[in-house]
């Protein structure tokens, strides 16, 4: 684990560094509060910090206050080193945001025990962050296909629309629908239908780029968002998806099932800039044209 030392006295700084390296820490050494503040705001900043109370530039308590005022959620465990012995001074340090303190001179064994406490708190925070990210991701995903859900894919669309307009680029959208899906459910059962939806999602994901997005728009209908993709690009992606879906029967618990897909394409570019709602409507209208034209085909919105 990486740990920051902010200590202006050279001999004490060397002693502290040697002890921490011996215990297996990766040590980042600073000589004053300003340098420490800069490092703590850098990428991959240490999550454990040992700060001297009295330092040039920014002292330990003030550095604690700045750390706690930061808006981002990464927690830094802070230990103050001080020669102050009075209760009032120690209260001041803790109220500034320090997690712990150690008075100089200190026993090495005591420092080691207190750092273990800090490491446990940092480890717990990492577990909580991982759990939070997991549940946020889960809430944004469709439970059956693991694609983005309806709300999230529309949120992504709005974000990509704003970026495309800002950068003067095109944005393609595909509305895709499995053909005769009700017949699949009626003939093979809903478990087989669920399996078809999962396999379709997997096949679609193999045909798009890492920065494209696919969401389950509703039922057996999907919305594909293609950043920096004009008319020909979006048509090519739609055709690749159509071929991938129909090339082989789907292997399900109820046996092999033939599946096809109809797709509607729409594009927003500088020549015809659409808002998110109109882009979805245009793609949906093209999808219905594909359905009306015999299914298992790609249609493109007028002008798009």
Please, what sign has the CA dihedral across residues 88, 93, 99, 104? negative
**pLDDT tens-digit series, residues 279-294:** 999 999 999 999 999 9
Q: Among 7, 152, 220, 299, which one carries the catalytic annotation?
A: 220
| Of residues 298, 78, 285, 40, the one with CA closest to residue 179 | 298
Per-residue pLDDT band for 87 (boundaries 50, 70, 90) equals low
The CATH code for residues 150-300 is 3.30.70.270
Question: Containing H/E element for 184?
Answer: helix 181-188
Residue 70's pLDDT is what?
84
Q: Is 220 a catalytic residue?
A: yes
Greater model confidence, 186 or 104? 186
Prediction pTM value = 0.65
Q: For residue 30, is pLDDT > 80? A: yes
Per-residue pLDDT band for 154 (boundaries 50, 70, 90) equals very high
Q: For residue 188, is pLDDT > 70? A: yes
| Of residues 73, 79, 93, the one with CA closest to residue 36 | 79
Pairing state of beta strands 221-227 and 213-218? antiparallel
* Region of 122 on the Ramachandran plot (φ > 0 left; ψ -120 to 50 alpha; else beta): alpha
Q: For residue 167, is pLDDT > 90? A: yes
Residue 18's pLDDT is what?
92
Per-residue pLDDT band for 263 (boundaries 50, 70, 90) equals very high
CATH tag for 2-139 (out of 3.40.109.10, 3.40.50.300, 3.40.50.2300, 3.10.180.10): 3.40.50.2300
For the chain, what are the domain ranges? 2-139, 150-300
| Of residues 224, 167, 226, 219, the one with CA closest to residue 197 | 219
Residue 268's pLDDT is what?
97
């Amino acid at each position: 684990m990486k740990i920051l030392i902010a200590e202006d006295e050279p001999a004490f700084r060397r002693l502290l560094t040697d002890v921490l390296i011996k215990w297996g820490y990766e040590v980042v050494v600073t000589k004053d509060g300003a340098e420490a503040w800069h490092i703590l705001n850098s990428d991959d900043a240490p999550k454990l910090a040992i700060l001297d109370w009295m330092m040039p530039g920014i002292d330990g308590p003030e550095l604690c206050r700045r750390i706690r005022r930061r808006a981002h959620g990464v927690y830094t465990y802070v230990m103050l080193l001080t020669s102050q012995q009075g209760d009032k001074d120690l209260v001041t340090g803790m109220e500034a945001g320090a997690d712990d303190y150690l008075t100089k001179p200190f026993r090495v064994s005591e420092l080691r025990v207190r750092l273990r406490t800090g490491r446990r708190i940092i480890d717990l925070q990492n577990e909580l962050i991982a759990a939070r990210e997991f549940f946020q991701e889960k809430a944004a995903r469709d439970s059956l296909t693991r694609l983005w859900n309806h709300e999230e894919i529309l949120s992504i669309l709005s974000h990509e629309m704003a970026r495309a307009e800002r950068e003067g680029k095109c944005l393609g959208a595909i509305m895709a629908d499995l053909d005769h899906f009700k017949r699949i459910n009626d003939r093979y059962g809903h478990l087989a239908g669920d399996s078809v939806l999962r396999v379709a999602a997997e096949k679609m994901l193999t045909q798009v780029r890492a920065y494209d997005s696919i969401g389950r728009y509703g039922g057996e209908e999907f919305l594909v968002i293609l950043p920096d993709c004009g008319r020909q690009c979006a048509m090519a992606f739609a055709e690749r998806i159509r071929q991938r879906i129909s090339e082989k029967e789907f292997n399900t618990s109820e046996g092999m099932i033939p599946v096809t897909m109809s797709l509607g394409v729409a594009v927003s570019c500088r020549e015809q800039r659409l808002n998110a709602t109109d882009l979805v409507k245009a793609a949906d209208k093209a999808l219905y044209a594909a359905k009306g034209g015999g299914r298992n085909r790609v249609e493109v919105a007028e002008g798009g």
